[in-house]
Amino acid sequence: MRRMLIVGIGSGDPDHLTLQAIKALQRVDVLFFIDKGAAKDELIRLRRVICEPHMTSRAYRTVIITDPPRDRRPERYEQTVRAWHEQRVAEYQRAISTELADGECGAFLVWGDPSLYDSTLRIFEKITAKGVLPLALEVIPGITSIQALAARHAICLNKIGGPVHITTGRELARCLPTESDNVVVMLDGEVTLDGVDPDATMIHWGAYVGTEHEILRSGLVRDVLPELQRVRREAREAHGWIMDTYVLSKIPQR
């Protein structure tokens, strides 16, 4: 039986790698990386910077899987993403069956935690369901970008006893913060905050949190949004990519 570790590695700070992740990495025979194109090379480099210092005790091989191309602005979002996932399933399965021998241990490194806006577990669910490539799967949790952001701003995510809604920039307009719940937004390409009340909403924002390029901003949306958008645009141009997350919190009105 082949063993496969899905290892959450935190979202940028090498010190966020857990002891459990370090122990897992030390059992790896084959480390699989996903090549997502030139602009994302930096993310493979960062994964190596975070993990390789802990992988010196034994030899391991590295395999790069080329990610199938994806339509970034599809008309039918869910269907397009599903079709793209099917292609990924085939690519992962081919790479594992040819590069990982029976009895060996492989690993995929997942940014943050595998349970949050990451397709790796869904892909492995599909591979397992097909029943043609038996795998012993082990998931190692990691620190999410949300936890890293909350720590850097020293904030609680929830109001007292209240819920926290986690969503994407695409869905924000459908779940704006109320006075009782806070909204965490990830995967937002523009940060326009359409529909958010700028005079009654606080934002805690962070880009590249935990990395050497970290940028943090917080305040009333009306006060900070224009500068935040400018800083964000400039950072994205300078690095060729950006990963940012923010928490929106409605201020109670009298």
Ligand X SMILES: C[S@@+](CC[C@H](N)C(=O)[O-])C[C@H]1O[C@@H](n2cnc3c(N)ncnc32)[C@H](O)[C@@H]1O
When binding is defined by CB under 6 A, the residue of 16, 100, 112, 193 that contacts ligand X is: 112
> CB of residue 191 vs ligand X: minimum separation in angstroms?
10
Binding mask 127-166 for ligand X (x = CB under 6 A): -----------------xx---------------------
> CB of residue 145 vs ligand X: minimum separation in angstroms?
3
Pairing outcome for strands 30-35 and 61-66:
parallel
> CB of residue 149 vs ligand X: minimum separation in angstroms?
6
What is residue 10's DSSP assignment? B
| Binding residues for ligand X, total number by CB under 6 A | 21
Binding mask 29-68 for ligand X (x = CB under 6 A): ----------------------------------------
Axis-axis angle for helices 120-130, 77-99 (nearest 10): 70
Neighbour tally for 75: CB within 10 Å: 7
Kindly give the residue spans of alpha helices, DSSP state H, lying in the chain: 19-25, 41-51, 77-99, 120-130, 145-153, 221-239
When binding is defined by CB under 6 A, the residue of 208, 221, 248, 250 that contacts ligand X is: 208
Provide the sign of the torsion angle of the four alpha carbons 149, 151, 155, 161, taken in this order.
positive
CA distances from 48 to 43, 74, 78, 143, 152 (A): 9, 32, 31, 17, 24
Q: Which stretch binds ligand X (CB under 6 A): 32-40, 97-105, 127-135, 202-210?
A: 202-210
11 binding ligand X? (CB under 6 A): yes
Q: Which stretch binds ligand X (CB under 6 A): 32-40, 92-100, 107-115, 170-178?
A: 107-115
Cα–Cα distance, 2 to 102 (Å, whole number): 5
* Three-state DSSP state, 246: strand
Cα–Cα distance, 49 to 12 (Å, whole number): 10
When binding is defined by CB under 6 A, the residue of 150, 182, 244, 248 that contacts ligand X is: 244
> CB of residue 37 vs ligand X: minimum separation in angstroms?
15
Neighbour tally for 62: CB within 10 Å: 13
Q: Which stretch binds ligand X (CB under 6 A): 27-35, 75-83, 175-183, 203-211?
A: 203-211
177 binding ligand X? (CB under 6 A): no
Residues that bind ligand X (CB under 6 A): 11-12, 111-113, 116-118, 144-145, 186-187, 206-211, 243-245
